[in-house]
């Protein structure tokens, strides 16, 4: 690291659990963020400010006025721009040395297979069940840790799915692909603005912990937040031996 980097990241470096070596690890790491909206905004902002070497953003949508109530990486001046391009501008304003790859495309199986393989950690910040399942399958296939968050109304949830760990579940162990799911959209249900900031910030923290092998992750633990009461609850889970995605077939 150069002198400017030592100063920029000094508050990380002062932490015994991170130090110079840990910060160097972050500078050489790559995160894949699926979704540049409510959750993707705080995730990308915190990972960029923390000095992640490369952030790959995937989102097919454009910035709309209704997004600005909660999607804090965007701005009024960038309404109508692709979200990934807008986010790249927002991140550059905080930390221009972070490399941002902006991919304006839906996260289909082919794209995920290519991009998950390159990432050190994957963050699911999308808003639909089918894409979540596709992200999970790619992470299981390539053995990459997945930090998954969701938020709607006043309710949020977050977990880490890291099948490199013995007995750890994948997303499909908790939410089977064939289970009936009623898709709920912000446009019809609404979302409490700070909720996505809370969940997204925890996602960023868990991603950094995964990269640094620091502390105890949320692997095997699904945490749920009721923001009306500001009350967390937790469900513990193990790998499903019959999971169609991660169960070993040998």
SS (H, E, C) 54-123: EEEEECCCECCHHHHHCCCCCCHHHCCCEHHHHHHHHHHHHCCCCEEEEECCCCCHHHHHHHHHHCCEEE
Residue whose entry in the numeric block shows the structure tokens 């979200």 = 83
Q: Using an 8 Å Cβ cutoff, are 105 and 111 in contact?
A: yes
Bridge partners for 156 per DSSP = 151, 225
Q: Using an 8 Å Cβ cutoff, are 166 and 127 in contact?
A: no
**Domains along the sequence of the chain with CATH:** 3-236 (3.40.50.720)
Band (pLDDT 50/70/90 cuts) for residue 186 is low
Q: What is the mean pLDDT of residues 144-164?
A: 97
What's the pLDDT tens digit per position in 199-230?
A: 999 999 999 999 999 999 999 999 999 999 99
Q: Is residue 210 annotated as part of the catalytic site, yes or no?
A: no
Q: Is the pLDDT of residue 181 over 80?
A: no
Q: Which of 126, 139, 170, 186 is catalytic?
A: 186
What's the pLDDT tens digit per position in 63-98?
A: 999 999 999 999 999 999 999 999 999 999 999 999
What's the pLDDT tens digit per position in 89-130?
A: 999 999 999 999 999 999 999 999 999 999 999 999 998 999
3-class state of residue 144 by DSSP: coil
Q: Is the pLDDT of residue 195 over 90?
A: yes
In this prediction the pTM is 0.95
Q: Which two tokens stand for residue 223?
A: 């945490």
pLDDT of residue 250: 41
Q: What is the mean pLDDT of residues 135-149?
A: 97
């Amino acid at each position: 690291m150069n002198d400017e980097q030592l100063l920029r990241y000094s508050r990380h470096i002062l932490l015994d659990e991170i130090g110079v070596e840990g910060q160097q690890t972050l500078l050489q790491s790559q995160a894949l963020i699926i979704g540049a909206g409510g959750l993707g905004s705080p995730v990308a902002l915190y990972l960029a400010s923390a000095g992640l070497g490369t952030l790959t953003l995937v989102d097919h949508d454009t910035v709309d006025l209704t997004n600005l109530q909660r999607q804090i990486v965007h701005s009024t001046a960038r309404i109508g721009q692709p979200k990934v391009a807008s986010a790249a501008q927002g991140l550059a304003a905080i930390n221009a040395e972070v490399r941002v790859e902006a991919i304006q495309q839906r996260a289909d199986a082919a794209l995920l297979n290519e991009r998950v393989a390159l990432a050190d950690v994957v963050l699911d910040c999308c808003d639909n069940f089918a894409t979540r399942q596709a992200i999970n399958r790619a992470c299981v296939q390539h053995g990459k840790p997945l930090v998954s968050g969701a938020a709607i109304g006043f309710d949020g949830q977050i977990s880490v799915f890291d099948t490199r760990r013995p007995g750890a579940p994948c997303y499909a162990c908790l939410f089977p692909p064939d289970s009936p799911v009623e898709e709920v959209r912000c446009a019809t249900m609404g979302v409490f603005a700070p909720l996505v900031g809370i969940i997204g910030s925890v996602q960023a923290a868990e991603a950094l912990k995964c990269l640094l092998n620091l502390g105890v992750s949320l692997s095997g633990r699904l945490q749920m937040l009721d923001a009306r009461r500001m009350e967390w609850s937790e469900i513990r889970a193990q790998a499903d031996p019959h999971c169609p995605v991660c169960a070993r077939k040998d």
